Amino acid sequence: MSVNAAIYGLQGETLSPDEKAFFRDAEPWGFILFARNIDRPRQVRALTDSLRDCLGRDVPIFIDQEGGRVQRFKPPIWRAAPPAERFGALWDREPEAALEAVRLNHQLLGAELIAAGVDADCAPCLDIRVTGAHDVIGDRAFHADPATVAAMGAAALDGLADQGVLGVIKHIPGHGRAGVDSHLDLPVVDADRDLLRETDFAAFKGLDAAVMAMTAHVIYSAIDPENCATHSAEVIAEIIRGEIGFDGLLMSDDLSMQALSGALQQRGERALASGCDVLLHCNGRMDEMVAVAHAAIALDHQAADRAERALAARRAPSHFDPARAIAALEALFADAGLEPAA
């Protein structure tokens, strides 16, 4: 069996016959869910079971569940998790309490996800908060200080892992300084390399627990003035693999975003040629997925090793009492004189 270097979305709350046929033929490494795929817990669990049954293996299933603006499991059925900046505010008063709050929050996120059959979260967001930048990151950032962001990122990964969920750090090597939303346009960051090294890039360093990362569709003109990170061999080799030292599975951000240009197949081919291990395509459009499938080569060599290491990091969830965790989380904020976390 050949597993190919792609993660796909799908259109609805159930798997259609055409999607089943395509996925069996395309053999993607994983899937990703969005709000359009989600109604209630039982439905989501049936969907994730059907995706794994379709491919006949324990395929990883991803979601963007950060909290705040970015959560696909929504209230009132699921908890309203706070945005990352709330934990930054707690850090400024009680750093140790903030780390424990981040861990508890991500245990709660992980428990909800794993119960629904979702075992990979495109979180934490390790982009730093930058005054004057576009608010596409904004309150999704933990803090402006990179060391603080890295510390809270490690706590988030630990909380998710405790419940059997793999975290995906994003958007490496940093989206926080971008002046436009990469969903709609191509950001160009003109900061010099020394500043980037001390700030944006530093937030991603030293996270040994990170087994997966997602690229930024951002041009860093001091390194590669022509290509965004997803399509830049220089950024991936010199910065992500070199200076940052990330050696886990590197997935592209969504290939259908308007920051990228060219046909979908070409976008995918460029990402893999530049050093991405896996292609991410999210919108579930069949014509686009077929195009990406033409680019998605079989996982082999280093990419296959990284994919195997990522999956090997999955573990059974620990015993966990959500009600007790929510109470402890609220107490951490209250003790610091802050409003409740959720």
Distance in angstroms (rounded) separating the CA atoms of residues 59 and 219:
32
Q: CA 242, 282, 309: angle at the middle one, nearest 5?
A: 45
- Grouping H, G, I as helix, E, B as strand and the rest as coil, residue 229 is helix
- Grouping H, G, I as helix, E, B as strand and the rest as coil, residue 188 is strand
List C-alpha distances in Å: 43 to 14, 46, 58, 122, 234. 8, 5, 19, 21, 43
340 pLDDT above the threshold of 80: no
For residues 49-78, give the mean pLDDT: 97
Question: Residue 73: CB partners within 8 Å, gap ≥ 6?
Answer: 38, 44, 63, 65, 112, 113, 116
On whether the pTM is more than 0.95, the answer is: yes
Local structure of residue 248 (DSSP, 8 states): S
| HSE-up of residue 268 (Cα within 13 Å, Cβ side) | 24
- Cβ–Cβ under 8 Å, residues 28 and 1: no
pLDDT band at 339 (very low <50, low <70, confident <90, very high): confident
Distance in angstroms (rounded) separating the CA atoms of residues 219 and 175:
10
10 pLDDT above the threshold of 80: yes
Residue 253 annotated among the catalytic residues of the structure: yes
Q: CA 170, 171, 177, 178 torsion: positive or negative?
A: negative
For residues 25-46, give the mean pLDDT: 98
Distance in angstroms (rounded) separating the CA atoms of residues 158 and 172:
19
- CATH dotted code for 4-28+40-45+57-335: 3.20.20.300
The mean of the pLDDT values for the chain is 97
- Cβ–Cβ under 8 Å, residues 223 and 243: no
pLDDT band at 342 (very low <50, low <70, confident <90, very high): low
Q: CA 17, 118, 139: angle at the middle one, nearest 5?
A: 120
- Cβ–Cβ under 8 Å, residues 182 and 253: yes
119, 200, 224, 253: the active-site residue: 253
37 pLDDT above the threshold of 70: yes
53, 183, 192, 300: the active-site residue: 183
Distance of CA 128 to the CA centre of its chain: 15
84 pLDDT above the threshold of 80: yes
Q: CA 81, 320, 112: angle at the middle one, nearest 5?
A: 40
Q: 279-319 pLDDT, tens per residue?
A: 999 999 999 999 999 999 999 999 999 999 999 999 999 99
- Cβ–Cβ under 8 Å, residues 210 and 248: yes
Residue-level pLDDT at 1: 62
Residue-level pLDDT at 129: 97
Q: 145-189 pLDDT, tens per residue?
A: 999 999 999 999 999 999 999 999 999 999 999 999 899 999 999
- Cβ–Cβ under 8 Å, residues 103 and 149: no
Closest listed residue to residue 206, CA positions, set 153, 274, 258, 269: 153
Q: What is the CA radius of gyration of the chain?
A: 19
Residue 106 annotated among the catalytic residues of the structure: no
Q: 206-219 pLDDT, tens per residue?
A: 998 899 999 999 99
Closest listed residue to residue 149, CA positions, set 105, 87, 101: 87
Distance in angstroms (rounded) separating the CA atoms of residues 218 and 190:
11
